[in-house]
Amino acid sequence: MGTQTTRRGLRERAVASGAPAMAAAPAAVRRRGGIGRTLGDLGLWIAAAAGAVCIVLVILAVSANITLIMFRTGSMSPTIPAGSVAVVQRVDASRMQVGDVVTVDRDDELPVTHRITSIGPGATEDERIITMRGDANADDDPFPYTVTSVRTVLFSIPGIASAIVGMGDPWVLGTLTAGATVLVIWAFWPRSGSAATRTEEGLT
């Protein structure tokens, strides 16, 4: 009994003398890590959202023939100014209508994205002959286009083409990858506050 009482007394005295410091330590750790933790969590959420967007774009590209195109010139201004990115969907030529803004692929040349001004029949049932004009141009394009399918513009976002192009730069990709790695390591790194909490719980 005397030994048990002595041990209990020692434990009670240790808890009484060390409890304030032990309780203050986790609080200090929480205060120091609060802002950093919030910023880190925000970074992880942003990275997760960006990853989700990429996954959705891949799924749409495969399942619905939806892709992105960038506008380097202002031939479609002011509707779609230079530096815009448009979301386009490939459709059969039979679904086109006059007034649609579409992208036509050309052999050995860059695609052209203009507004349809007329549609005529082609040599086959699936083929159409169209004329187009940029909104900023006074005249139609100098020659018609024979198409069986086009990419119709669903909507556009101005001013983000340069950012998307920049994402393809190896230095940018490397920086983003390194940043994401640091965020993941930081998120799962053991916290000193957890050890202090376990020590306090063991003494009480």
Indicate if 25 and 72 belong to the same structural domain. no
Model confidence pLDDT, tens digit, residues 42-52: 766 776 776 77
Indicate if 174 and 142 belong to the same structural domain. no
**End-to-end alpha-carbon separation of the chain, Å?**
21
Indicate if 83 and 139 belong to the same structural domain. yes
Point out the residues of the chain with pLDDT beneath 50: 1-4, 19-25, 27-29, 32, 194-204
Indicate if 94 and 156 belong to the same structural domain. yes
C-alpha closest to that of 187 among 76, 7, 37: 37
Q: Burial level of 136, CB count in 10 A (0-12/13-18/19+)?
A: middle
Indicate if 156 and 79 belong to the same structural domain. yes
Distance CA 175, CA 177 (A): 5
Indicate if 56 and 117 belong to the same structural domain. no
β-bridge partners, 87: 68, 155
Q: What CATH number corresponds to the domain at position 124?
A: 2.10.109.10
Strands 66-70 vs 101-106: parallel, antiparallel or unpaired:
unpaired
Which domain range does residue 39 map to?
2-61+168-203
Indicate if 78 and 41 belong to the same structural domain. no
- Strand locations in the chain (E): 66-70, 85-92, 101-106, 109-121, 128-133, 145-147, 149-157
The pair of structure tokens assigned to 27 is 């609080």
Indicate if 142 and 186 belong to the same structural domain. no
Q: Burial level of 151, CB count in 10 A (0-12/13-18/19+)?
A: buried
Indicate if 77 and 143 belong to the same structural domain. yes
Indicate if 159 and 120 belong to the same structural domain. yes
Indicate if 31 and 79 belong to the same structural domain. no
The pLDDT value recorded for residue 197 is: 47
Indicate if 72 and 151 belong to the same structural domain. yes
Q: Whole-model pTM?
A: 0.59
The pLDDT value recorded for residue 131 is: 98
Number of domains making up the chain: 2
